Structure 1
Amino acid sequence: MTMAAVLEHVFDLRVAVGEPIRVGRTDSEDLNVTPIIGGTVEGPRLGGRVLGVGADWWVTRGATTQLDARYIIEADDGSAIDVVNRGYWHAGADVERRLVAGEDVPEEELYYRTAFVFQTGAEAHRWLTEAQFVGYARPEPGHVVIRVHRVA
């Protein structure tokens, strides 16, 4: 018998982002960098804020975008937590059109999934460094909202 994945919701990130910077395009991919300029952390196991340092390097190949973000969370107790968050984004043409038009699109209608690695020297947050975490994300104007879960 195989074990089914169990996810524990631990917090939500609301990451404020700046305008993307286009680095370059080749025949097969397009590289961009989006500055991370702040945000909030709220949830049952962690609260705090996203500091205005870091960025998301993203490469689009065909219809799929590969994400590689790195930033810092300051927990409510003042502890710093390093965040590495990598994942994938793709959506159908209709969903893309709706997003460009400014419509709210539920995360079930697009594939925007990430995996986290956290580092911190704070004993109170050591639990972040001892498990795998996954995120279900969705874009909002000026933000990326990510529901973060610990894989049990």
Structure 2
Amino acid sequence: MATSSSQNVSPGGDHIAIPFQMRMPSMEFIYRLSCDMASENHAVGAPFSGSHNRVIMPIVGGRVEGPRVSADIQHMSGADWGTAIKGTNFMILNARYTLKTIDGHFIYVRSKGIFSPNRDDFFANRPPENVTQDDADWFTRLQFEASGPYNWLNGVLAIGVLAMCEKRIVIDAYRITNTPGVEAKSLQVE
């Protein structure tokens, strides 16, 4: 059995052997999103005096640009219904919003992920205006509902890598695939 010395070979073979090699998936860029959040969040608090605080962060608008997608985030079309864990800076993300493409199609986006700062004192003074990939593990799993020329998004497994620049949320979205260079299939009911 081969080991994981090759860059694309999965290290799983070093732990559980199977009669063929598996490889790590590839990532292909879908788009960059730049998002405006409302200036005020809605802190629901901890239901039943528990350890999880719900914070609703309204999405005001923004822009999406990529090789096959160009769209605006519809004004006030969604929010991030985050869950902050008391005593930590960790947050579970759960956002939903709508895009309108330049050719008039709507794309519904669901995004679930995590925000985990690398330092315990990350919010010690106040929320920062900028958060880089060096500051936090900040990722999301993106799911799409789309029609027309964007049907291909429905079958995509995508992840988002997040940052914040001047209080704007930035997401680079990537398709996870075993077939790099092959476009995602347009899913059509026959």
Identity of aligned residues (%): 25
Specify the alignment match of 1:87 in structure 2.
113
Indicate the SS of the match to 2:74: strand
How far 1:101 moved relative to its partner?
4.7
Mapping for residues 2-81 of structure 1, pairs under 5 Å: 2-18=22-38, 19-25=40-46, 26-52=49-75, 53-61=77-85, 62-81=88-107
Cross-structure match for 1:138? 163
Deviation at 1:46, TM superposition (A): 0.9
Q: Hey, which bits of structure 1, 4+ residues long, moved more than 3 A?
A: 94-99
Gaps of 5+ in 2: 1-20, 178-190
Q: How many residues align?
A: 150
- Name which one, 1 or 2, has greater alpha-carbon Rg: 2
In structure 1, the gaps of 5 or more residues are none
Greater per-residue strand proportion: 1
| Highest RCO, 1 vs 2 (Cα 8 Å, sep ≥ 6) | 1
Deviations 1:18-72 (A, max 9, x none): 1211111234111110111110001122111000111110001133200100000
- Give me the TM-score of the superposition, normalised by structure 2: 0.73
Cα contact 1:138–1:144 (8 A) shared by 2: yes
**CA shift in 2, pair 1:58/1:101, >3 Å:** closer
Contact in 2 for aligned 1:98/1:105 (Cα 8 Å): no
Which secondary structure does the structure 1 equivalent of 2:153 belong to?
Answer: helix
Conservation of the 8 A alpha-carbon contact between 1:115 and 1:133: yes
Per-residue deviation, 1:86: 0.6
Question: What is residue 187 of structure 2 aligned with on the other side?
Answer: none
Quote the RMSD (CA, aligned, Å): 1.8
